[in-house]
Amino acid sequence: MGLQATVIRNILFAATTYGEAYDNLRVQAGFTDKEISDSSETVEWQKAAKLFDLLADLTNNEQIGLALGFETGLSMLGMLGFMMQASKNLEEALTVYCRFGYMVCPMITFHYYKEGNKAIIELNQNPVWKNTYPRNARIGVDHTIASIVHHTRLLTGKSIFPEAVELEFGKIAVDAYKQALHCQVLFNAPIHKLVYDASVMSTPVITSDVSLFEMFQEILAQKKAIMMQTNCTEAVKNLLLMQFKGQIPTVEEAAAAMDMTPRTLQRKLTEENTSYRNIAGEVKKELAIHLMKNPGTSITEVAEVLGYGDLPAFRRAFKTWTKATPKEVKRQLHSEQMTVMG
């Protein structure tokens, strides 16, 4: 899974306002010009995420994500940004964003819904990112939330702010968040969330164009279909990684997300000599190993993130995936990290 190249390029351009030349930043972040010049390309998410660490260090600002979010335009979203600009109103634009946002950043999935007189956008951040790289995961969420608020103004021409923002991480720099987002901010929340007055969702998008909207919708739908059909095994694996929220989605949920029946999905996987169960095991294995790379994450915490309330059950499952115990693998990963550092 990777982050769309346009996102990296836009963040780097925005960061130049802090005194570093674009090419210097790109080189320090470890990106080649070719790697981030093609909007159809993606960059490995781990490498992309570490860009936030670099920018926080260079600026000595842990809330750099908020600042950059208000400086990156809709072009950051590529084709999705064009479709949002062609939307009828703010609600349609945000619905599109939540539907196709994973194609730009697969480590966050979005959900838009209404609850009474409130319109809510939820951000589900992949637990591998949150637990393996907690610092840049927080900065990444700051950037995403700030860019949503900023894009809302670009789309409508009006200063529309959420009534409240809820964040999963602990309380930090409260005034910085309130000043940037112009609303109350709740920390230690169950899930990242922006809460708007539902009445603002009918605000027209100033560049609305029905024919362009339909064209971009068709293009994005085709792109999604190609992503899902080129290699069904990889498509399912990416889907499970994106939608993992403590447990693997059922085969019915996965099939629905891929716009096919469970029977069709299972048939395609059989044709590729695998099964949904095998892929689920591979995904859990990959998640577990990623989490174990963080020295501060215990085996018990890894088990809990993967949905195992019973540690012995996790150990048995892990040994099935890797032919080794969690302790042995964690020790090996630590040894490899020490070798690289030393």
Neighbours of 269 (CB within 10 A): 19
The overall average pLDDT reported for the chain is: 87
Each residue's pLDDT tens digit, 228-255: 556 788 888 877 776 666 677 788 888 8
The DSSP symbol for 248 reads P
* Chain centre to alpha carbon of residue 332: 29
The residue-averaged pLDDT of 71-93 equals: 90
pLDDT confidence band for 333 (50 / 70 / 90) = confident
The DSSP symbol for 45 reads H
CA distance 108 to 73: 19
Each residue's pLDDT tens digit, 191-221: 999 999 999 999 999 999 988 888 888 877 7
Could you tell me the domains of the chain?
Answer: 2-202 (3.90.1520.10), 231-335 (1.10.10.60)
Residue 3 has pLDDT above 80, yes or no: no
The residue-averaged pLDDT of 286-311 equals: 82
The answer to whether residues 146 and 222 touch, using CB atoms and an 8 Å cutoff, is: no
The residue-averaged pLDDT of 67-79 equals: 88
The residue-averaged pLDDT of 147-171 equals: 97
Of 84, 144, 94, 87, nearest in space to 119 by CA: 94
Predicted pLDDT of residue 21 = 86
Neighbours of 65 (CB within 10 A): 24
Predicted pLDDT of residue 162 = 98
40: which 2 tokens?
A: 């159809």
**Strand (E) positions, the chain?**
2-4, 42-44, 108-115, 118-125, 164-166, 184-186, 192-197
Predicted pLDDT of residue 228 = 59
pLDDT confidence band for 2 (50 / 70 / 90) = low
The answer to whether residues 83 and 11 touch, using CB atoms and an 8 Å cutoff, is: no
Q: Which residues contact 30 (CB under 8 A, 6 or more apart)?
A: 47
Each residue's pLDDT tens digit, 40-65: 677 887 888 889 999 999 999 999 99
Residue 136 has pLDDT above 90, yes or no: yes
CA distance 328 to 173: 39
pLDDT confidence band for 342 (50 / 70 / 90) = low
Q: Is 230 exposed, middle or buried (0-12, 13-18, 19+ CB in 10 A)?
A: exposed
At what angle are helices 90-100 and 210-229 packed, to 10 degrees? 10
Predicted pLDDT of residue 86 = 93
At what angle are helices 134-156 and 45-59 packed, to 10 degrees? 90
Predicted pLDDT of residue 270 = 93
> What percentage of the chain carries pLDDT values higher than 70?
93
